[in-house]
Structure 1
Amino acid sequence: MSDQSKNTTTKLAATKFPKGIFFALGGGVVLSVNDLAIKALSGTYALHQVILIRAFVGMTIVLAVIWFSGSGFRQLLTKRPLDHLFRVCIVMVSNVTYFVGLSLMPLADAVATAFVAPLFVTLMSALILREHVGPRRWAAVGVGMLGVVIMTRPGAGIIQPAAILVLISAFCYASSHMMTRRMRATESAMTLNFFVQCGFIVVSTTFGLVAGDGGFAQAPGGTWEFLFRPWHSPPVGDWWAFLATGVAVGVGGLLMSQAYRTTEAALVAPFEYIGMPMAIFWGVVVFGTFPDHTAWAGIALICGAGLYTLWRETVRKQKDLDVAAPSGDI
């Protein structure tokens, strides 16, 4: 192989390959702060109040990025309003089910269960996007699903419906990334996040007008208690959490959307597992919780499946590069 061919292959591996990975790693770390803040607020505030304040903070960040970008606000013009509406609805369901489940589960358990989402992404990338997924990665998906079964803890009372809610959230989350892949040719990361923040503001405001007075409030410990609490003004000491969740979702959402716009979905997805050690860290440091033996078994299976998927994808990518490279000197 000539030096020119080697340089071409090196450039493909060094630039095209890792771009989305770095976005996904950064997005995963930043979004873990969102989980921490939501968990901290879930014992006192209504979910729709938290989401509304978070959306205003996130929208401020998105608008600031758009203002200073070269494209400006004209990039918000779209010919795909129905696709945006459908994606916003999916993201909304994903957020509500995840955060209600998170309020009922230890942080690490909820995050581990949610990490079936990258396996859903791998599944959908094959069935919907027609990306190649080999038999070994299909096996990894099966192993990950077994881990999810363990994390749902059948017969363990309140944990079971909470885990099912998180599982529904994971499916919706994976579906939203499939929509991102379909829309990436015409929609920027800022546009995608702008319409999501608009959806959060509209839905949470409407929800607040209907249920913000506590008329639908449940008794303490109810599955939907977090969703239907009455609104109240937060003291100064709690504003850090509201600001943290807004900044995290604004920055993290941009990073994750950019990851799925620039890189193959099945390759990006496993790198979201950076959120798992972050969840364990926040759980121990902030909430004093540590995964038990059952949780560790589920975490090992789910994260192991994701890491194996990553390894197989890396091998496949390298083979594709080797095949694409010229075999003789130029």
Structure 2
Amino acid sequence: MTEGFQNRAGLAIAFVLGGVAAISVNDMLIKQLSGGYPLHQIVFSRSAIGILFSLILVKIEGGWHLLKTDQPALHILRGLLVVVANMTFFVALAALPLADATALFFAAPLFITLLSIPMLGEKVGPIRMAAVFVGFIGVVIMQRPWAGTETLQASRLVLLMPIIAALTYALNQLLTRKLGVKAKASVLSVYIQAVFIVVSVGFFIVAGDGRFAADTANPSVQFLLRAWVWPPQEDWLVFGGLGLNAAIIGYALSQAYRLADAATVAPFEYVGLPLAVFWGLVIFGDLPEWEVWVGIALIIGSGLFVFLRERQKARQVKGRVRGRF
């Protein structure tokens, strides 16, 4: 563990489980809306509502002065990474079943384990590296490299989108660990929501009239660039739920990665995989193909192995420390 960081693993795990549950609901709601609204409108609405809840949490955690920072560039970079992670994942979600897109995205904990070495100075031994390699084999299987484009559910580019989302999400959570030394979770959430609002307004200015989506039937491009639509009354509650979820996700995940090592927290995000399968079946009637099941098994297995290995090493270190006194 990097010196100077908090390490309250139990509380961090509780926060990550709550955050992942909120993410699963968020993804299900956005997939429901993806056929009628542009992504940047959904993101703007969600973040505009979410930032209000996050500001309330800032007030509760200490007051508005907490929003002052001496690391604005890192906060902006972290926000942009989250934007890229969300945009690429949701673009894929418009064309892929929920469980398939989520399973590919869960390369993120593997990236977190790898990137924690250069970025946080955390140590990952050869056994854990081998487990990470097995997880990436699962990702490759889900990409179906042997299949022709005519047999795939979506293009190769769309299949790559959740992997890009996983990489940028991993970088974001490692920055969370760095920034969380000084910043409260509520502050980290506010900065993320603010970046989302700025980027979505930029999308609206450039593409809000839908002119870039007029000549394509591609569902991912349509979702990204179609014109803004005033929502009917029955969708207002969905947008409100997305906003509340955004605040919960931003706070819970920021808090989780503030309180414990990235390699300890990340494997618990795998709870999102069975939740995605559940929502995909119940709401959309989708069940994953065999390649996705194999990939899920390899990714979850490798992630849990990394976690258990981390716990074992932590017990050994504690035992040696106690033996000295």
TM-score normalised by the chain length of structure 1: 0.91
- Which of the residues 13, 16, 36 maps onto 2:8? 16
CA distance in 1, matches of 2:242, 2:271: 18
Contact in 2 for aligned 1:34/1:246 (Cα 8 Å): no
Q: Which residue of structure 2 lines up, in the alignment, with residue 323 of structure 1?
A: 320
Contact in 2 for aligned 1:147/1:297 (Cα 8 Å): yes
1:315 Cα deviation after fit: 0.9
Alignment of 1:286-325 (within 5 A): 286-325=283-322
Alignment of 1:204-223 (within 5 A): 204-217=200-213, 218-223=215-220
CA distance in 2, matches of 1:202, 1:29: 27
Q: Which residue of structure 2 lines up, in the alignment, with residue 12 of structure 1?
A: none
- Which of the residues 175, 194, 200 maps onto 2:171? 175
Gaps of 5+ in 2: 1-6
Residue by residue over 1:268-298, the C-alpha shift from the partner in whole angstroms, topping out at 9 and shown as x without a partner, is: 0000111011101101111111112111011
Residue by residue over 1:167-191, the C-alpha shift from the partner in whole angstroms, topping out at 9 and shown as x without a partner, is: 0111000001111112122211111
Q: Which residue of structure 1 lines up, in the alignment, with residue 111 of structure 2?
A: 120
1:18 is paired with a residue of what secondary structure? helix
CA distance in 1, matches of 2:122, 2:196: 31
Percent of pairs with identical residues: 43
Of the two, which has the highest radius of gyration?
A: 1
Q: Which residue of structure 1 lines up, in the alignment, with residue 63 of structure 2?
A: 72
Contact in 2 for aligned 1:153/1:160 (Cα 8 Å): no
Residue by residue over 1:253-278, the C-alpha shift from the partner in whole angstroms, topping out at 9 and shown as x without a partner, is: 21111110110011100001110111
Distance 1:113 1:273, change over 3 A: same
CA distance in 2, matches of 1:223, 1:52: 18
1:134 Cα deviation after fit: 1.4
TM-score normalised by the chain length of structure 2: 0.93
Alignment of 1:245-260 (within 5 A): 245-260=242-257
Alignment of 1:174-253 (within 5 A): 174-217=170-213, 218-253=215-250
CA distance in 2, matches of 1:316, 1:30: 31
Q: Which residue of structure 2 lines up, in the alignment, with residue 52 of structure 1?
A: 44
What's the Cα RMSD here?
1.5
CA distance in 2, matches of 1:209, 1:30: 30
Contact in 1 for aligned 2:9/2:259 (Cα 8 Å): no
Residue by residue over 1:142-161, the C-alpha shift from the partner in whole angstroms, topping out at 9 and shown as x without a partner, is: 01111111112233442522
Contact in 2 for aligned 1:40/1:241 (Cα 8 Å): no
Gaps of 5+ in 1: 1-14
Contact in 2 for aligned 1:150/1:294 (Cα 8 Å): yes
1:115 Cα deviation after fit: 0.4
Query: Is 1:82 equivalent to 2:78 in the alignment?
Result: no
Contact in 1 for aligned 2:35/2:223 (Cα 8 Å): yes
